[in-house]
Amino acid sequence: MTDGARTATRPGPAPRQAATHCPYCALQCGMTLRETDGRVEVLPRQFPTNRGGLCQKGWTAAELLDHPDRLTTPLLRDRPGGELRPASWDEALDRIVTGIRTVQAGHGRDAVAVFGGGGLTNEKAYALGRFARVTLRTRLIDYNGRWCMSSAAAAGTRAFGIDRGLPFPLTDLGHADTLLLVGANPAETMPPLMRHLADQRRRGGRLIVVDPRVTATARQADLHLQPLPGTDLAVANALLHIALTEGLLDRDYVAARTTGFDEVRRTVAGCLPAEVERLSGVPVADLEATARALATADRAIILTARGAEQHAKGVDTVTAFINLALALGLPGRPGSGYGCLTGQGNGQGGREHGQKADQLPGYRRIDDPVARAHVAGVWGVPVDELPGPGVPAYELLDSLGTPEGPKALLVLGSNPVVSAPRAARVESRLRALDLLVVADFLRSETAELADVVLPVAQWAEEDGTMTNLEGRVLRRRALREPPPGVRTDLAVLADLTARLDASAHPSDPRSADPRAVFEELRRASAGGPADYAGVTWDRIDTDTGVFWPCPVVDGPDTPRLFVDSFPTPDGRARFRPVTHRPAAEPVDAAHPLHFTTGRVLAHYQSGAQTRRVDALRRAAPGGFVELHPDLAARLGVADGDEVRVVSRRGELRAPARLTPTIRPDTVFAPFHWPGAARANSVTNDAVDPVSGMPEFKICAVRVERAEP
């Protein structure tokens, strides 16, 4: 993590500055942008999540504003297999409108689909959902946040009645006596968060990390549990078994504030720690130490992240850790609780306001008649014209171009060619479309396949709101106007709406104004679980933002949930029995190793942005495959040798990196690179039946030296 400033040059107007937030992860670190004579400086500023620090991604964020790869004109492909060429906005929009009308006339409303992103502002996520359901009248919309937070969201909703990643401020982490991180590596994914963990350690707190790799975070832990990938659920049940047999439960809390514990008690009674040790590789002594450290702490927090959640049993795995937290009386207790580390910049807000397949604004369910009536009233459409639920992200992408699937797709804020599981198959499905439209500011790998590419504004060129991992709604402020020829996503959606159905939805200048869109979002969310009705634009112009739910203007917001009750019909949290089951794909003689994926410090998500920043590219120039030295010796692989990682779906090629920090039965690759090093060419497309989360974190592979 670094404090400092970075610059990007561009001839520009007089000096100006804007207090805003980093464009990357869900910490939404505070920063100030200052432009002088066309030079943009990034300066860290004090904000509760980053407290004046930035990681190297945030520090270099301004370098993309004037990057040579920046798109400033629409691009069109005249024929399949032809090259993309520059075009006017009228030509590009006419091509899109003609394509949509042709496809829907021949195949129905659902022949057009929409795919969004967890980095879109609240206003853009809201407008995208409205555009899909009102203008296109398609039910087929989902977004890449399905691959980030969906398992934790589903588990939290069924246990607590609501999904907010952290139901308490992030600063609580620094005061925890015991902090359990499960499948989280914030030292590389959210470096400024480590300041809060440093506070925790200085106060004498204990940090316990569950991860199959000895990550940069695990190296700072007092205790590291290193399970076989895919066995976290068994570990959680074993921890609850120990707490039960040793009399460590908060029985008063369980009796007064929860339901369903008796069935969970019967389930975990059979989760013997010795058997879990044989299954997971985690010693019984470490399981016992973890359970006791959590149960005896005055303030204890359990946090899960992608390592535990990106599985075909991700919802049940998170549920097992929630069961543990409830049995110990943590949720709602001052300084304690369960939470999830949301990943993408607006991963929280992005799923609250309508771009998720089963939701309407305010985190309302799209199949709830009351919710439908409320939102239809705000949108001014008959309720029976609102489509029903769509399908989760991978199911949507896998159906593209098939006889019964969508023939056209609009993509905003996502790069599924790199980020989707079984990526080669998804790439082939995108190529099968009659019309692929991508709005982006760079030619991502997905944009390279598009029929129409629309150049859109970057984070520093438009106002808006974001909701960070704490449920804190905050202001993103523009430093300057977009370059000539570039439009905002809101303007693109407004233009398309006017062209597609001008009589029913006349062009309204406010529809491209983020403040006006936010005002409509407030009305649409009013009364919903994620109630923004009291979150006014002026109110969130403060330095610290406003926590939802906040139903009343000038009324209190909600930094901490569950203090007195849970938002369930009876005010109680729900236990739910869950049992361990194997990974969707077992190892065998042909594929004897476990493969898992993750991130590196220098890059973010599909890498389409960070791979273009010189300093970040120098820090991590390409993909690699981590192997334990014992495994490498058996394979005859030396450090730096190119290897093939082969699954039943595809392969990746990258240099071997030998390290004793990984289990000998497991290999790891980061997922930021396209081409031969694309990790998601290998990953499994099995999905969680509740959340639709793909099993990114484990599949069966073999590794061999690659031929030159």
Candidates 334, 335, 308; CA nearest to 319 is: 308
- CATH number at 7-64: 2.20.25.90
pLDDT at 343: 84
How far is the C-alpha of 96 from the C-alpha of 114, rounded, in Å? 13
Q: How distant, in Å, are the alpha carbons of 233, 279, 317, 584 from that of 581? A: 8, 11, 10, 9
Domain 150-341 CATH assignment equals 3.40.228.10: yes
Alpha helix (H) residue ranges in 297-344: 306-309, 314-327
Name the token pair of 570. 């009876």
Flag whether pLDDT at 3 surpasses 50.
Answer: no
How far is the C-alpha of 644 from the C-alpha of 659, rounded, in Å? 17
How far is the C-alpha of 211 from the C-alpha of 226, rounded, in Å? 5
Residues in the chain: 708
Q: What is the pLDDT of residues 210-257, one digit of tens each?
A: 999 999 999 999 999 999 999 999 999 999 999 999 999 999 999 999
Most confident of 504-518, 530-544, 633-647: 633-647
What is the residue-averaged pLDDT of the chain?
A: 95
**Half-sphere exposure (Cβ direction) of 609: Cα atoms closer than 13 Å:** 22
Contact 272, 294 (CB under 8 A): no
Q: How distant, in Å, are the alpha carbons of 214, 282, 682, 684 from that of 649? A: 28, 30, 6, 8
- CATH number at 75-147+362-504+540-547: 3.40.50.740
Give 135's DSSP letter.
Answer: I
How far is the C-alpha of 223 from the C-alpha of 230, rounded, in Å? 20
Instruction: Sort 346 into a burial class: Cβ within 10 Å, 0-12 / 13-18 / 19+.
Output: buried
Please state the φ and ψ torsions of residue 385, each to the nearest 5 degrees.
-85, -15
Instruction: Sort 3 into a burial class: Cβ within 10 Å, 0-12 / 13-18 / 19+.
Output: exposed
Using alpha carbons only, what angle is made at residue 435 by residues 431 and 436, rounded to the nearest 5 degrees? 65
Averaged pLDDT for residues 534-556: 92
pLDDT at 4: 47
Averaged pLDDT for residues 414-422: 97
3-state secondary structure of 453: strand
Contact 623, 657 (CB under 8 A): no
How far is the C-alpha of 433 from the C-alpha of 691, rounded, in Å? 26
pLDDT at 149: 87
> Is pTM beyond 0.85 here?
yes
Candidates 158, 529, 512, 164; CA nearest to 347 is: 164
Q: How distant, in Å, are the alpha carbons of 50, 249, 441, 497, 605 from that of 25? A: 12, 35, 18, 31, 9
Q: Which CATH class is domain 593-705?
A: mainly beta
Candidates 345, 360, 424; CA nearest to 149 is: 345
Name the token pair of 93. 């929009």
Partners of residue 643 on adjacent β-strands: 654, 705
**Cα–chain center distance at 326:** 25
pLDDT at 9: 54
Q: What is the pLDDT of residues 585-626, one digit of tens each?
A: 999 999 999 999 999 999 999 999 999 999 999 999 999 999
How far is the C-alpha of 50 from the C-alpha of 16, rounded, in Å? 23
Run of H or E including 573: strand 573-574
Q: How confident is the model at residue 10 (pLDDT cuts 50, 70, 90)?
A: low
pLDDT at 707: 83
pLDDT at 708: 75
The percentage of residues in the chain with a pLDDT greater than 90, rounded to a whole number, is 94
Run of H or E including 240: helix 232-245
Averaged pLDDT for residues 185-189: 96
3-state secondary structure of 234: helix
3-state secondary structure of 632: helix
Q: What is the pLDDT of residues 457-501, one digit of tens each?
A: 999 999 999 999 999 999 999 999 999 999 999 999 999 999 998
Backbone region of residue 329 per phi and psi (left: phi > 0; alpha: psi in -120 to 50; beta: other values): left
Flag whether pLDDT at 654 surpasses 90.
Answer: yes
Q: For the chain, give every domain's residue range.
A: 7-64, 75-147+362-504+540-547, 150-341, 593-705
Q: How confident is the model at residue 150 (pLDDT cuts 50, 70, 90)?
A: very high
How far is the C-alpha of 150 from the C-alpha of 159, rounded, in Å? 14
Averaged pLDDT for residues 398-411: 97
Contact 407, 104 (CB under 8 A): no
Q: What is the pLDDT of residues 333-344, one digit of tens each?
A: 999 999 999 889
Question: What distance, in Å, lies between the first and last C-alpha atoms of the chain?
Answer: 38
